[in-house]
Structure 1
Amino acid sequence: MATEIEHKFLVCNESWREQAHASQDFEQGYLCGDGPASVRVRIEGEQANINIKAATVGTVRAEYEYSIPIEEAREMLACLCVAPPVVKTRYWVRHAGHTWEVDVFAGANAPLVVAEIELNTVDEAFERPDWLGEEVSDDPRYYNHALAFEPYSSWGA
């Protein structure tokens, strides 16, 4: 089984931008609203994929991902999604031997900024950069699937 080991954090300042070495715009939508898995279609620049991820909360989940033609992804985003697409720009930031993914959300999820690190093992050590805030790996509201159905801007103060 394919497994993802990922920690998710809020970002507390903008100093990560100085270390960012690449970025990519993303648009992703979900083909189902609930169940044992989320099924997502995503366009990343000129590439597209479909992703199936166990609908569990935490740092370890089953995940499968497959490339699909970009035109088919555009059709799915336009016609098959059960919620508005999530739009974000992802930045890659190297820090202490790891690459962090910093997602800056747009639209209904702005101004949310979340950083993720994928690890090879559950007990792999990593250094927290100074721009990292609270860990939200166990808070389902911060998962992209949840943000599609209940955007950050709707949470209230």
Structure 2
Amino acid sequence: MADEIERKFLVNEGWQPQHEGVRIAQGYLSSVPERTVRVRIKGDRGYLTVKGRNEGIRRLEFEYEIPCEDAEALLKLCEQPLIEKMRYLETVGGFTWEVDVFAGANAGLRVAEIELPAVDTPFEKPDWAGQEVSGDARYYNSSLIRQPYRLWKNEL
């Protein structure tokens, strides 16, 4: 059993990638809040991930590497649209931040996530990390398949 403790922030306009990113395509076999079942192709590797309900910034997460061919077949069974994004890794204050630049139906959205060892772990917030959206369900990837960013970004 593994806990995922994660905080999310919007990415300010001034951010530029410092390293090469990796392409991610992901879909959901189940996107209900009680449990999400995600299929992901990250670069040339496949993953199956099961996550429990969010409890603040914490939830259960189980991730397993699967053959990429299996992931490709499972993505065809997933809810549409798929999540498409480039992920860039940034190191700040000893922590790795994952900066996701979305494409497709969610183009224009940029979100940075930091995983922490405990809910109360202090961390340095970089200048390019803007408004915190950790508790805003609209920014969950599983929500972005039902309500893509392009449909609600004008409301912000």
TM-score, normalised to structure 2, is: 0.93
> What is residue 115 of structure 1 aligned with on the other side?
112
Cα deviation for residue 95 of structure 1 reads 1.1
Matched, 1:47 2:45: yes
> What is residue 95 of structure 2 aligned with on the other side?
98
Matched, 1:37 2:35: yes
Alpha-carbon spacing, 1:57–1:149, altered in 2? closer, same or farther (3 Å): farther
Cα deviation for residue 12 of structure 1 reads 1.2
Deviation digits for residues 98-131 of structure 1 (CA, Å, limit 9, x no counterpart): 1110000001101000000001111111011111
Alpha-carbon spacing, 1:34–1:85, altered in 2? closer, same or farther (3 Å): same
5+ long unaligned stretches in structure 2:
none
Q: Report the count of equivalent residues.
A: 154
CA-atom RMSD, angstroms? Answer: 1.3
Aligned-residue identity in percent: 50
My pick for the range that moved more, 104-113 or 57-66, is: 57-66
Q: 1:60 and 1:144 mapped to 2: Cα distance?
A: 16
Matched, 1:84 2:77: no
What stretches of structure 1 move > 4 A for 4+ residues in a row? none
Cα deviation for residue 35 of structure 1 reads 5.2
> What is residue 23 of structure 2 aligned with on the other side?
25
Q: 1:7 and 1:147 mapped to 2: Cα distance?
A: 17
5+ long unaligned stretches in structure 1:
none
Q: 1:125 and 1:37 mapped to 2: Cα distance?
A: 28
